[in-house]
Amino acid sequence: MSVRWVMPVPGYLDSSVFLFLFPLLECPLTFSRVDVARSLLGDCEYRPVDVFEAWAPVNIALCKYWGKRDAALNLPVNDSLSVALPDKGTRTRVTRLQGESKDIVFLNDQPVSEADGFYQKVVAHLNLFRLDRGDRFRIDTVNNIATAAGLASSASGFAALTRATAGVQGFNLDGKALSILARVGSGSACRSVFDGFVRWHKGEAVDGMDSCAAPLSQVWPGLRLGVLTLTGAAKKVGSREGMARTVETTPLYSAWPAQAEADIAILEQAIVDRDFELLGVTAEHNAMTMHATMIASWPPLLYWEPESVAVMQKVWQLRKDGVPVYLTMDAGPNVKLLFESPVEDSIRQVFPDVEVVKLFP
Ligand code: PMV
115-145 pLDDT, tens digit per residue, is 999 999 999 999 999 977 789 999 999 999 8
Q: Is the distance from the beta carbon of residue 64 to the nearest atom of ligand 1 less than 6 Å?
A: yes
pLDDT at residue 82 greater than cutoff 50: yes
> How confident is the model over 186-196, as pLDDT tens digits?
999 999 999 99
Phi and psi for 48 in degrees, rounded to 5? -65, 145
Q: Separation of 65 CA from ligand 1 center, angstroms?
A: 6
Q: Is the distance from the beta carbon of residue 188 to the nearest atom of ligand 1 less than 6 Å?
A: yes
DSSP 8-state symbol, 352: T
Phi and psi for 138 in degrees, rounded to 5? -105, 130
pLDDT value for 149: 56
Q: pTM to 2 decimals?
A: 0.91
pLDDT value for 155: 95
3-state helix, strand and coil shares in percent for the chain, rounded to the nearest 5:
40, 20, 35
Residue 295 DSSP SS3: helix
pLDDT value for 227: 93
Q: Is the distance from the beta carbon of residue 79 to the nearest atom of ligand 1 less than 6 Å?
A: no
Decide: 301 and 237 in contact? Cβ < 8 Å: yes
Q: Is the distance from the beta carbon of residue 152 to the nearest atom of ligand 1 less than 6 Å?
A: yes
Output Rg (C-alpha) for the chain, integer angstroms: 22
Going by C-beta distance under 8 Å and a sequence separation of 6 or more, which residues neighbour residue 325?
226, 280, 315, 318, 319, 337, 338, 339, 343, 347
Going by C-beta distance under 8 Å and a sequence separation of 6 or more, which residues neighbour residue 199?
79, 80, 81, 213, 214, 216, 264, 268
Q: Separation of 26 CA from ligand 1 center, angstroms?
A: 35
Q: Separation of 138 CA from ligand 1 center, angstroms?
A: 27
* Distance between CA atoms of residues 22 and 16, nearest Å: 10
* Distance between CA atoms of residues 355 and 58, nearest Å: 15
Ligand 1: residue whose CA is nearest its atom 6: 188
Q: Separation of 12 CA from ligand 1 center, angstroms?
A: 48
Residue 333 DSSP SS3: coil
Ligand 1 atom closest to Cα of residue 331: 10
List the Cα angle 39/43/49 in 5-degree steps: 110
Ligand 1: residue whose CA is nearest its atom 9: 330
Q: Is the distance from the beta carbon of residue 90 to the nearest atom of ligand 1 less than 6 Å?
A: no
Which one of 64, 211, 241, 294 would you pick to mutate in the ligand 1 pocket, going by the greatest count of ligand atoms within 8 A of its CB?
Answer: 64
Q: What is the mean pLDDT of residues 22-26?
A: 46
Q: Is the distance from the beta carbon of residue 237 to the nearest atom of ligand 1 less than 6 Å?
A: no
> How confident is the model over 209-257, as pLDDT tens digits?
999 999 999 999 999 999 998 864 545 798 999 999 999 999 999 999 9
Task: Give the lowest-confidence range in 34-38, 129-133, 168-172.
Answer: 129-133
Decide: 72 and 32 in contact? Cβ < 8 Å: yes
Q: Is the distance from the beta carbon of residue 162 to the nearest atom of ligand 1 less than 6 Å?
A: no
List the Cα angle 131/137/142 in 5-degree steps: 125
> How confident is the model over 247-300, as pLDDT tens digits?
999 999 999 999 999 999 999 999 999 999 999 999 999 999 999 999 999 999
Q: State which amino acid sits at residue 347.
A: I
